[in-house]
Structure 1
Amino acid sequence: MERTVVLITGCSSGIGWHLALRLASDPSRSFKVYATLRDLKAQGPLWEAARARGCHPDCLETLQLDVRDSDSVAVARSRVTEGRVDVLVCNAGRGLLGPLEAHAAGAVSSVLDVNVAGTVRTLQAFLPDMKRRRSGRVLVTGSMGGLMGLPFNAVYCASKFALEGLCESLAVLLPPFGIHVSLIECGPVRTAFQDKLEGGPGGALDGTDAQTRHLFSLYQRHCEQVFREAAQDPEEVTEVFLTALRAPRPALRYFSTERFLPLARLRLDDSSGCSYVAAMQRAVFADEPAEAGAGGPGGPEPGAPPAAPQ
């Protein structure tokens, strides 16, 4: 039986790490997984975990791939010995948290380069062959931050909103070529993502005003509660990727959790955006009342929806 060739970006930790292991250790041995990392010096824990799971050596291979470098992506593609990739998982990503004015220009550029341009570079490298073969699947790690704006995540959300437009556009175009694109919309996940934020956990807060620092402290308190109550285990999220990978007719979006869907729907129900803004303010800044009339009388109360990125 011919194996399904899967290439995954961003496998040094988090969702990519867990997905690579899950597929490579599948008892059916029906997957050949190319787990790619920006720095191969970080591959040790992946191989240790693979051995612990009894992963057959023919089912997993690591490659160096830096999505910020088109040449690096091209070299990785050339090292896929099967000469094809059946499933491309665009997972590499960076986070950025804090007041917008506190972000260094380099940090902003880095996040946009990895999350948006890096995904584009990867797709540009692998889509032509999929189109020639008229077969392929693309799974992209999305985020609730791509469906709604979150305070103190402006640049991160901008990058994830961009991926929504990118993938939706491709999802319309590519089915005649036998290619299906799916976004895996993730809520908070228990990974090292928060520990690897570009520029640290809050940027240069010392350079912002006192009220912004206070609001940031409220946001951090809210995030701690959300992660405590609603964060998912990465293994649970990988099963959503598998659902998309195996679906006979893949959908554009799969959700790892439905907890934030009421807020996402609220953005569409009130096209002015006022109801969403008021609801998010209430949820995150509980002891800071929203501006009078922001959401209109009798505005929605969706409870305490998550307002923290993946």
Structure 2
Amino acid sequence: MGSNNKKKVVLITGCSSGIGLSLAVRLASDPEKNYKVYATMRNLEKKQRLLESVKGLHKETLDILQMDVTDPLSIQRARDRVQEGQVDILVCNAGVGLMGPLEVQGPEEMRRVMEVNLFGTLQTLQAFLPDMKSRREGHVLVTGSNGGLHGLPFNEVYCASKFAVEGACESLAILLQQFNIHVSLIECGPVNTDFLINLQKTEPGDSSLDALDPLTLCLYQRFLMHCGMAFQNAAQDTEDIVKVFLDAIRSPEPAFRYYTNGTAPPLVKLKNTKVDGLEYIREMGKHTFLQAQEENHDHI
């Protein structure tokens, strides 16, 4: 147990796939065994992929716990199962997406995005911050998104949830510096993970689109084409994202915001420098729709 005391205890949400799974494996596989990782997921039936990734090699450095970020009791149960009695590094990574015209989104779908992305993050923080505050140390990392930094058409609910997370984290960071607790947002663009596969998306041909006006429907089809090209040309591998998380975790003075591609996207800079907001709105429209508009102009 002596060497265990030197390990940093890490708890990660959303570990059944993608960034959470890859980060859990990487930290649990640390050659120096610097970390004890608690990989959590809502549905333990999905743990097989994680178990296959570690192949039984990391029994001392990895535990898998059930934790549903939308259920405060589930969060508390997971917290109470941390054998060391404390979490040094908390990674709020669980998230869901929702894409499609706002008019066709049902209340349950919209509520689910907010429950997981926003309230799930806040409830997880509520459970783990008191101990960090009492010990006057800790590091909170949150998986952010370009969709929390600037608006994306047909992602209104998702962006609303991620914008809210940005505001919550920024507000907390101001307070938590008084407790020697660092907050870091890892801002991701397109990533090659199951997030896109699992994304709740209104598909072309869905009957809910029948009531839409023709221009919105046409623009949505073009947006889907734009997304396909963006993922093909710009999507990062999960390992690239994990490296940024590791930089933040290992830093003695972690930054508040990390961009996984190294720099803020040009559209973020434009939004922040042209404060009336109109130039960003116009440029985002061109960036998203113009090429497809030119190719399909006759169909509008």
- TM-score computed with the length of structure 2 as normaliser: 0.92
Q: Is the 8 A contact 1:88 1:139 kept in 2?
A: yes
Q: Distance in 2 between matches of 1:258 and 1:273?
A: 24
DSSP 3-state at the match of 2:84: coil
Deviation (angstroms), 1:118: 0.5
Q: Distance in 2 between matches of 1:258 and 1:209?
A: 40
Q: Is the 8 A contact 2:11 2:40 kept in 1?
A: yes
Aligned AA (1:205) = L
Q: Work out which of the residue numbers 234, 240, 243 in structure 1 matches 2:238.
A: 234
1:169 aligns with 2:174: no
Cα deviation digits, residues 90-112 of structure 1 (max 9, x gap): 00001000001110100000000
Q: Is the 8 A contact 2:100 2:201 kept in 1?
A: no
Q: Which residue of 1 aligns with 2:68?
A: 66
Q: Is the 8 A contact 1:195 1:201 kept in 2?
A: no
Query: Compared with structure 1, are the counterparts of its residues 71 and 200 closer, same or farther at alpha carbon in structure 2 (3 Å cutoff)?
Result: farther
1:269 aligns with 2:273: yes
Q: Distance in 2 between matches of 1:35 and 1:15?
A: 12
1:39 aligns with 2:43: yes
Query: How do residues 1-310 of structure 1 correspond to structure 2 at under 5 angstroms?
Result: 1=3, 2-51=6-55, 55-198=57-200, 201=203, 204-258=208-262, 261-286=265-290, 287-288=292-293
Query: Which stretch of structure 1 is more off in the superposition, 261-270 or 236-245?
Result: 261-270
Cα deviation digits, residues 110-133 of structure 1 (max 9, x gap): 000100001000000000000001
Identity rate of aligned residues, in percent? 53
Q: Which residue of 2 aligns with 1:293?
A: none
DSSP 3-state at the match of 2:40: strand
Cα deviation digits, residues 2-45 of structure 1 (max 9, x gap): 10100000001111011111111111111100000101111011
Q: Distance in 2 between matches of 1:88 and 1:65?
A: 13
DSSP 3-state at the match of 2:98: coil
Q: Which residue of 1 aligns with 2:298?
A: none
Aligned AA (1:119) = T
Aligned AA (1:49) = S
Q: Distance in 1 between matches of 2:263 and 2:256?
A: 19
Query: Compared with structure 1, are the counterparts of its residues 86 and 110 closer, same or farther at alpha carbon in structure 2 (3 Å cutoff)?
Result: same
Q: Distance in 2 between matches of 1:9 and 1:122?
A: 9
Structure 2 runs not aligned, ≥5 long: 295-300
Cα deviation digits, residues 164-221 of structure 1 (max 9, x gap): 1000011111012110000000000000101212365577323322211110111111
Q: Is the 8 A contact 1:144 1:260 kept in 2?
A: no
Query: Compared with structure 1, are the counterparts of its residues 258 and 226 closer, same or farther at alpha carbon in structure 2 (3 Å cutoff)?
Result: farther
Q: Is the 8 A contact 1:10 1:16 kept in 2?
A: yes
- TM-score computed with the length of structure 1 as normaliser: 0.90
Q: Distance in 1 between matches of 2:248 and 2:34?
A: 16
- Over the aligned positions, Cα root-mean-square deviation in angstroms equals 1.4
Aligned AA (1:206) = D
Q: Distance in 2 between matches of 1:20 and 1:129?
A: 22
Q: Is the 8 A contact 2:69 2:124 kept in 1?
A: yes
Q: Distance in 2 between matches of 1:245 and 1:226?
A: 29
Cα deviation digits, residues 210-246 of structure 1 (max 9, x gap): 2111101111111111111110000110010011111
Q: Distance in 1 between matches of 2:202 and 2:59?
A: 37
How many residues in Structure 1 have an aligned counterpart in Structure 2?
Answer: 287
Q: Is the 8 A contact 1:97 1:201 kept in 2?
A: no
Q: Distance in 2 between matches of 1:251 and 1:200?
A: 37
Deviation (angstroms), 1:288: 3.3
